[in-house]
Structure 1
Amino acid sequence: MIVRIMGEGQYDVADDDLNALNTLDDELESAIGTGDETAFRAALHGLLEDVRRVGKPVAPDSLVPSELILPPVDADIDEVKNMLGDEGLIPD
């Protein structure tokens, strides 16, 4: 799956890694639901860091559509809340 981190680039993430990303996505949703800024910041950083860790960077000049778009690291809680779908940022 091609995942874009806004303002940063794209990563090719293996399907086997999506379960761990979904767990982090659930933590992010929970933090947004409670309005806990500290937990939100930790969850967002954790999710993006895990995408960077498990994903293989896609060449910047490659024209590959993103299947999933994640917010930038400096996004605020309201911005991310507006990006959430019924299944969070990462569909199950």
Structure 2
Amino acid sequence: MIVRIMGEGQVRLGDGHLAELNKLDDELLEELEGGDEAGFRRTLAALLDEVRRLGEPLPDDSLEPSELILPSPDASLEEVREMLSDDGLIPG
């Protein structure tokens, strides 16, 4: 799966990592719904760090269709709310 982190680039991420990323995504969703800014910042950073750690960066000149788009690390609560689906940021 190709994942884009807005403002950073793309990584190739194995589908086997989605379950562990979904745990962070669920936490992020709870913090968004509760308006927990500090928790939201912490969990968004942890989610993006995990994607970077588990994924293989694609070259900057590579432009492959992204199957998943994640917000930038400095995205606001409102910006992330607009990106959410019923499953959160990560399907599943």
Settle same-fold status: TM greater than 0.5.
yes
| Structure 2: unaligned runs, 5 residues or longer | none
- 1:78-89, aligned counterparts within 5 Å? 78-89=78-89
- Distance in 1 between the 2:7 and 2:63 partners? 16
Q: Give the CA RMSD over aligned residues.
A: 0.6
Report what 1:42 is aligned to. Answer: 42
* Structure 1 unaligned regions, length at least 5: none
Identical columns (%): 58
Show the counterpart of 1:33. 33
Paired residue total: 92
Match of 2:6 in 1: 6
1:24 counterpart = 2:42: no
Question: Structure 1 runs of 4+ off > 3 angstroms?
Answer: none
Q: Secondary structure at the match of 2:74?
A: coil
Question: What SS does structure 2 have at the residue aligned with 1:18?
Answer: helix
| CA distance, structure 2, for counterparts of residue 46 and residue 7 of structure 1 | 17
**Paired amino acid for 1:71:** P
Shift of 1:17: 0.7
Matching residue's letter, 1:4: R
Q: What residue number does 1:73 align with?
A: 73
Q: TM-score, normalised by structure 1?
A: 0.97
How does the TM-score come out when normalised to structure 2? 0.97
Distance 2:29 2:43 in 1: 9
SS of residue paired to 2:69: strand
Aligned equivalents of 1:2, 1:21: Cα separation in 2:
14
